[in-house]
Amino acid sequence: MPFVAETATPPSERTKVKRLPDRGEYDRGAIDAILDEALVCHVGFPVDGQPYVIPTLHARVGEQLYLHGAPANRMLRTLRDGVDACVTVTLIDGLVLSRSWFHHSVNYRSVVVLGRAVEVTDQDEKLRALAALVEHIVPGRTEDARPPTDAELRATLVLSLPLAEASAKVRTGPAKEEESDLALDHWSGVVPLALDVSGEPAADSYVEPSAPVPDYVAALSAR
């Protein structure tokens, strides 16, 4: 089971939610849950004064957020050099329809993590991080796939970003209607959205047609 911090982390001046501060969440349990549910994060970083934002996979283990890729990856090479980074994740939970154009919105849960990443050089930690990345995408898969060889480990760069400076922002509920609009004859409400909707698994051509679909894969389709 993933580690979940039991206490709130006081926000830094950089991570304190300033726009609509009532939506700010600083409880580490809430922050960790959003990071664990999101499949993709976006990493912001500067190169020669030019900002870039790149989507990538991530995994959280305790107080660390792990990123990985090829050593030639510009994002990872830049982060390894100690530049300031901003990692964000967003989960969209619903479309919020208002009686007015102005008050349309979305229900969401998001996290911002600020800090500097370091390269993971310890072999055991690197293996744990890569296992966490696989499990984050498909729980149960590490026991049903070959672990990396020494050559594959050398060909993979893993970075660790501490979660010491992080905050969440959450919106729930219906639209914030103007009192004067409540009598308008327009439908208003929320259309729920969910990320965890999977299609039927499709085996590759090297899998025997009679081979059963693993339970952990079938569970993805049953969500």
Q: What is the pTM of this model?
A: 0.88
Is residue 112 within 8 A of residue 163, CB to CB? The reply is no
pLDDT at position 11: 75
Q: At residue 21, what are phi and psi to the nearest 5 degrees?
A: -60, -20
Domain ranges of the chain: 21-196
- Per-residue pLDDT for 195 more than 90? no
CATH architecture of the domain covering 21-196:
Roll (2.30)
Q: What is the pLDDT of residue 8?
A: 53
Q: Kindly tell me if the per-residue pLDDT of 43 is higher than 80.
A: yes
Radius of gyration of the chain (CA): 21
- The pLDDT score that the predictor gives to residue 1 is 37
- Percent of the chain past pLDDT 70, that is, above it, reads 94
Question: Does position 139 have pLDDT exceeding 80, yes or no?
Answer: yes
Question: Which pLDDT value is given to residue 198?
Answer: 78
